[in-house]
């Protein structure tokens, strides 16, 4: 598409600017609109919805230079709220941060939340995000009762589990390629407080980590592991296991937790800061900090576990922590993505089915370690059963996410290698974080891709909705 002239841009309320995902690679110029009412331009030209740009790779990046990007964050009104059931209907640009601000004081929490609250509800649907409770509750789409879309021909369509079901399932996890989500009806979960009961435990290696996650998942709604992914040999996979649950009223300190202090990163970090030596030091320090000061506490947890009284176990555990410290540790550091320097970074996230087990996870970790490409930490998590949505990422098994500073061909080669392992194991990568995966590899990862394509083609035969990612992974014309 030809670039628009600047006068045209201005009068249409658009500005031409560089657009990138959270990883800041790749970057493409787009004509960005930020309307308060979500509406497709009547002229039928290609468009890509975008929320708060917290997906990492090229999912929310223009398909071609100057292509139209529709940022939704100003369309953030609550349309209805059922005080009894916690059912929220809102415009797609409403953020989880705003949901937390407005509804948490009244005892409602997002049913699923990613590791940052600066995401829109529309973005959460389009990526079908998962959280630390996936093993128990599934992904975001499970809590969506209804979507309103404006589809390629401009008409407005309502869909849900029982109404236009195929469009519904193609849109959840559909990466903005089936239509513009304008409104979402979502079930929030009731909580008694804004505090979390959290236990952390150092684990010495991968086997212990996987077992620990599995065991913790039986009793705890939220589980996650942090892996020191530079530890080698027997220590491969060592890290910190974390489990949490919402604190009851009785457990919670009086009053809401203090607001997190926000620091910002004022500049792009220089490359030397990312040197493997420093990374190694950082990771080891992180591990030992926990391992050390958890020691006394750990004995205690064991003791209370032996008593098998859950109430006592939690009383013995650490004091409740504010929910944001548990869910959104990185949000406290404003633009932390700038720490990776100008060239940006990739986040690699994949899931391998339970059947493939520890060997596949070990192989992935080993490859990263071998490559010596620095990554602060890897996050590991157990996933529960896969959803009906065609392109939804999680499937029953283990997911691993790690940051890879972008170093051109070297990094891309590593991703292709990791992908080969993932494919062999029957797993897949997460499009919300991907910027590199080849189309043929992606096709091997997603058995229901053909079904999804059919539904998409029915609603959007010309592929009006397209992104840099859909050009790369699905072969759309730019």
Ligand X SMILES: Cc1cc2nc3c(=O)[nH]c(=O)nc-3n(C[C@H](O)[C@H](O)[C@H](O)COP(=O)(O)OP(=O)(O)OC[C@H]3O[C@@H](n4cnc5c(N)ncnc54)[C@H](O)[C@@H]3O)c2cc1C
Residues that bind other proteins (CB under 8 A): 7, 9-15, 33-37, 74, 77-81, 102
Q: Could you tell which of ligand X, other proteins, none binds residue 48, using a CB distance below 5 to 8 A set by kind?
A: ligand X
User: 140 or 287, CB closer to ligand X?
Assistant: 140
26: preceding bond cis by omega (within 30 degrees): yes
Of 62, 221, 41, which is closest to residue 135 (Cα–Cα)? 221
Q: Are 15 and 32 in contact (CB under 8 A)?
A: yes
User: Does 124 help bind ligand X (rule: CB under 6 A)?
Assistant: yes
Beta strands in 354-425 (DSSP E): 378-383, 397-405
User: 185 or 421, CB closer to other proteins?
Assistant: 185
User: 304 or 349, CB closer to ligand X?
Assistant: 349
Q: At what angle do helices 276-293 and 295-307 cross, to 10 degrees?
A: 50
Letters for 155-194 (x = contact with ligand X by CB under 6 A, - = none) are --------------------xx---xx-------------
Stretch that binds ligand X, among 53-61, 283-291, 364-372, 408-416 (CB under 6 A): 53-61
CA–CA gap between residue 436 and residue 426 (Å, rounded) = 19
Phi and psi at residue 166, in whole multiples of 5°? -65, -40
CA–CA gap between residue 394 and residue 385 (Å, rounded) = 8
The least CB distance from residue 37 to other proteins, in Å, is 8
Instruction: Identify the residue among 14, 20, 28, 55 touching ligand X (CB under 6 A).
Output: 55
Q: 């249409």: which residue's tokens?
A: 12
User: Does 135 help bind ligand X (rule: CB under 6 A)?
Assistant: no
The least CB distance from residue 124 to ligand X, in Å, is 5
User: 98 or 441, CB closer to ligand X?
Assistant: 98
The least CB distance from residue 48 to ligand X, in Å, is 5
Q: Which helix (H) or strand (E) holds 370?
A: helix 357-371
Q: Could you tell which of ligand X, other proteins, none binds residue 378, using a CB distance below 5 to 8 A set by kind?
A: none
C-alpha dihedral sign at 170, 174, 179, 181: positive
Number of amino acids touching ligand X (CB under 6 A): 33
Phi and psi at residue 469, in whole multiples of 5°? -70, -40
Instruction: Identify the residue among 20, 129, 213, 279 touching ligand X (CB under 6 A).
Output: 129
| DSSP H helices in 128-264 | 134-137, 165-171, 206-219
Q: 């491969």: which residue's tokens?
A: 236
The contact set with ligand X (CB under 6 A) reads 22, 48-55, 59-60, 72, 92, 114-116, 119-120, 122-124, 126-127, 129-131, 175-176, 180-181, 330, 432, 467
């Amino acid at each position: 598409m030809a670039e628009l002239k600047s006068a045209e841009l201005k009068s249409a309320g658009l500005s031409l600017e560089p657009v990138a995902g959270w990883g800041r690679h790749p970057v493409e110029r787009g004509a960005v609109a930020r309307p308060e009412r979500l509406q497709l331009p009547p002229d039928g030209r290609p468009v890509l919805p975008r929320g708060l740009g917290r997906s990492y790779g090229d999912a929310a990046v223009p398909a071609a230079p100057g292509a139209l990007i529709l940022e939704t964050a100003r369309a953030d009104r609550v349309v209805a709220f059922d005080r009894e059931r916690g059912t929220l209907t809102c415009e797609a640009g409403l953020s989880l941060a705003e949901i937390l601000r407005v509804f948490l004081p009244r005892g409602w929490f997002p049913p699923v939340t990613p590791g940052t609250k600066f995401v829109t509800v529309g973005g959460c649907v389009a990526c079908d995000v998962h959280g630390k409770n996936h093993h128990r509750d599934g992904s975001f789409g499970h809590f969506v009762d209804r979507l309103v879309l404006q589809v390629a021909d401009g008409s407005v369509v309502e869909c849900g589990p029982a109404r236009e079901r195929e469009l519904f399932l193609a849109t959840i996890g559909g990466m903005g390629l089936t239509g513009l989500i304008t409104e979402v009806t979502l079930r929030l979960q009731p909580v008694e407080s804004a505090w979390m009961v959290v236990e952390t435990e150092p684990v010495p290696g991968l086997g212990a980590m996987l077992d620990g996650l599995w065991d913790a998942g039986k009793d705890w709604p939220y589980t996650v592991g942090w892996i020191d992914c530079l530890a080698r040999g027997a220590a491969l996979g060592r890290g910190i296991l974390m489990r949490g649950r919402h604190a009851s009223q009785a457990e919670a300190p009086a009053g809401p937790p203090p607001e997190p202090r926000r620091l910002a990163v004022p500049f792009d970090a220089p490359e030397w800061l990312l040197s493997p030596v420093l990374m190694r030091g950082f990771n080891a320090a992180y591990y030992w900090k926990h391992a050390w000061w958890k020691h006394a506490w750990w004995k205690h947890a064991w003791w209370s576990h032996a008593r098998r009284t859950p109430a006592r176990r939690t009383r013995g555990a650490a004091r409740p922590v504010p929910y944001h410290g548990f869910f959104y540790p990185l949000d406290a550091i404003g633009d932390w993505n700038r720490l990776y320097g100008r060239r940006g970074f990739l986040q690699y996230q994949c899931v391998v089915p339970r059947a493939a087990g520890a060997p596949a996870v070990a192989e992935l970790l080993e490859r990263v370690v071998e490559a010596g490409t620095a990554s602060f930490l890897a996050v590991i998590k157990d996933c529960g059963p896969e959803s009906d949505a065609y392109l939804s990422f999680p499937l029953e098994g283990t997911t691993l996410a790690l940051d890879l500073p972008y170093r051109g061909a070297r990094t891309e080669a590593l991703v292709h290698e990791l992908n080969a392992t993932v494919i062999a194991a029957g797993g897949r990568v997460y499009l919300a974080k991907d910027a590199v995966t080849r189309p043929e590899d992606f096709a091997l990862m997603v058995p229901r891709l053909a079904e999804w394509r059919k539904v998409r083609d029915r609603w959007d035969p010309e592929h009006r909705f397209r992104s840099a990612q859909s050009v790369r992974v699905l072969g759309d014309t730019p």
